[in-house]
Structure 1
């Protein structure tokens, strides 16, 4: 049975059946974990061009996440038991604002009727098995990899549907591999196939096959290699290096990232040929954080991203506008301050990115810049534990294109049981 055809109901029946086969019940010596998340999201973008309708919405979300501990079964290999467990999620959001009849990428939107849904529901389940240092999951997956990141920047979370194996091969080497057949983007209900639109035409993929290695070269250096094959569309290679330096007065993090995207030769989406190189240096001194980075793209085509507003958070500094246009170079600057000595729980950050040496749709030289101001506060009062506030202000300027300002105000309450 293909992963895409293995529904949530199938997973529930399969899990219960396996528990019975292994002679277990849900009351075995395992501790279940529940997390309740209440999220109020006000997100609004204002374009300088009055002819463009401003997208945005105000919504209230309530989500529940269940994670079971592993339960040892009667099946053993080399005197070690095979363990079993289940995870589940239920996410719901209600639009509190009026329908603006414009897509804001936050709540589901119909391009045909030009209406935005009032209610928004997502759910999934995961069956998991574990043996020694190897873990297998099938069902809904929460991934943090190139192509497949879990996006929490809007209202409800994006997730993926497929199978995954993680293994600690040695003290230094970790392996992850899997096949992802469907995605549930942050603004859509249910799961759907990966698609990629180029030259105005949308192409579908049967699934993403990937493998990822993480290797601790030294206690201070970590290397990562990733290969993903988005069937019938394109392949993506990723190589990353991360180095930490620590002293009594400060610590520094250096990250190098290289992405190689290309069609596999049998691609139905046409040519894909792009390189993306990024380097960022981040320094932490007391309550201060300063970072400077550089990113450059080159190749015959633009950097490919699947449809559905799936961000690649592996970039050195992913921003609202991405800065991944064909041949674009960009400089990244970041400054953050932790007010823990004055107002514990309060943090502020400013990010500035300038992109240049790319062209607009008319072939004209172009440049763009984005400034982000981020203010976050985690309430410290024990009675308000789990309550947090997050404000993101975005100012985007482009030489030829549409300038805008955007506000995202997220108030979140998280309670673990």
Structure 2
């Protein structure tokens, strides 16, 4: 059996290499994207005894996505198709070393120095048959626990295997095993870990399944289960209802997360519920949203090490509104200036968290204001050039309040 598997794998690779040469000579279907990103990010704490983190860096990244190439192997008259993707990311620090970890560029805690150069790379082998796709290698995931963070300099990614299948027009299945993660501020891939009371606990990998079902054309449902081995399990259920007429669009989201340890987990007890609801309305160039999120259970919402964002949250901010027993509300307003300055968008978000305590048991509350201004150049000669400014004002009764500016200038070119 083992010999048969090796032989089959050799045939697949040989077919892919041969087909690649022929394909490259006759078509130009492969895609390459070049991304240049200049990132200036600076945080100013209200406390004078804290060092202000931040850096200015220039990144250059390349992402290659091959088109699927049919092989001679067929099942039910349909070919097995193969492909290969790759990524190469590099950043160079332009600012002086502040000797403080800003979670943007790699930092050596022993020498208290920040790296001048930052390098990440990965590759993905992919195979497709009919409506089913398999990927092995570097993965770009958008799921609970595992999402891609594009808010700083280089992108986070994951390493493992992923299987996606479109069972019907309404039902999609995804399952996988993710063994390692490459956070936004680290080179290479590392095991998942979770730190409790200063002690770091590692996991052998994340096993997950994600189901998406279109109940009606307007109602979508999703269920996710992830087992972060030796640490904790996570369940997620989401509903999204959309409605529109000639005047407005409405979107309602309901989300529930359940995190718990397996009883013999290395990291100890984890018991958390997270419920959120969001209502979003769009009228013309205006967008407005109002959301509520509530954390309950015996512990705070667990997040793996590496500052991995939980973008599935109803309320995810620069700071995490996911402390034990915390309730939070947030309001968002956005405007598209397309009738006056095409390509210009503005957004304001205010979040307020309450009913939680600090480490000393004192009643606490926090708030965060985000102001975002984004512009994509419309001139054909400047196509792909974009600018974004994010201002953050975070205030907490017992903790570290700060103000932060992020200025990102990006240029994207597809070949």
The two structures have a TM-score, normalised by structure 1, of 0.95
**Structure 1 position 182 matched with structure 2 position 177:** no
Counterparts of 1:111 and 1:224 in 2: how far apart (Å)?
A: 41
Distance 1:15 1:310, change over 3 A: farther
Counterparts of 1:259 and 1:115 in 2: how far apart (Å)?
A: 38
Q: 2:372 aligns with which of 374, 392, 395?
A: 374
8 A Cα contact 2:53 2:100, kept in partner: yes
Match of 2:63 in 1: 65
Distance 1:46 1:317, change over 3 A: same
Match of 1:338 in 2: 336
What displacement does 1:322 show?
Answer: 1.5
Cα offsets for 1:346-372 (capped at 9, x unmatched): 000000000000000000000000000
8 A Cα contact 1:19 1:25, kept in partner: no
Cα offsets for 1:22-70 (capped at 9, x unmatched): 6523332661100000000000000010100000000000000000000
- Give SS of 2:191's match: coil
- Give SS of 2:305's match: coil
Cα offsets for 1:310-361 (capped at 9, x unmatched): 0100001310112000000000100000000000000000000000000000
- Give SS of 2:14's match: helix
Match of 2:264 in 1: 266
Counterparts of 2:345 and 2:262 in 1: how far apart (Å)?
A: 45
What displacement does 1:16 show?
Answer: 9.2
8 A Cα contact 2:315 2:321, kept in partner: no
Match of 2:3 in 1: none
Alignment of 1:107-256 (within 5 A): 107-256=105-254
What displacement does 1:387 show?
Answer: 0.2
Counterparts of 1:25 and 1:360 in 2: how far apart (Å)?
A: 58
Alignment of 1:52-91 (within 5 A): 52-91=50-89
Cα offsets for 1:80-122 (capped at 9, x unmatched): 0000000000000000000000000000001111000000000
List structure 1 runs of 4+ shifted beyond 6 angstroms.
14-17
Counterparts of 1:234 and 1:398 in 2: how far apart (Å)?
A: 29
Match of 1:320 in 2: 318
- Give SS of 1:27's match: helix
What displacement does 1:199 show?
Answer: 1.4
What displacement does 1:17 show?
Answer: 7.3
- Count the aligned residue pairs: 404
8 A Cα contact 1:15 1:127, kept in partner: no
8 A Cα contact 1:297 1:326, kept in partner: yes
What displacement does 1:262 show?
Answer: 0.1
Q: Structure 1 unaligned runs (5+)? A: 1-13
Counterparts of 1:276 and 1:290 in 2: how far apart (Å)?
A: 23
Q: 2:298 aligns with which of 292, 297, 300?
A: 300
- Give SS of 1:26's match: helix
Counterparts of 1:314 and 1:157 in 2: how far apart (Å)?
A: 18
8 A Cα contact 1:209 1:229, kept in partner: yes
8 A Cα contact 1:332 1:352, kept in partner: yes
Q: 2:22 aligns with which of 27, 34, 39?
A: 27
8 A Cα contact 1:222 1:241, kept in partner: yes
Counterparts of 2:74 and 2:406 in 1: how far apart (Å)?
A: 51
Match of 2:353 in 1: 355
**Structure 1 position 399 matched with structure 2 position 393:** no
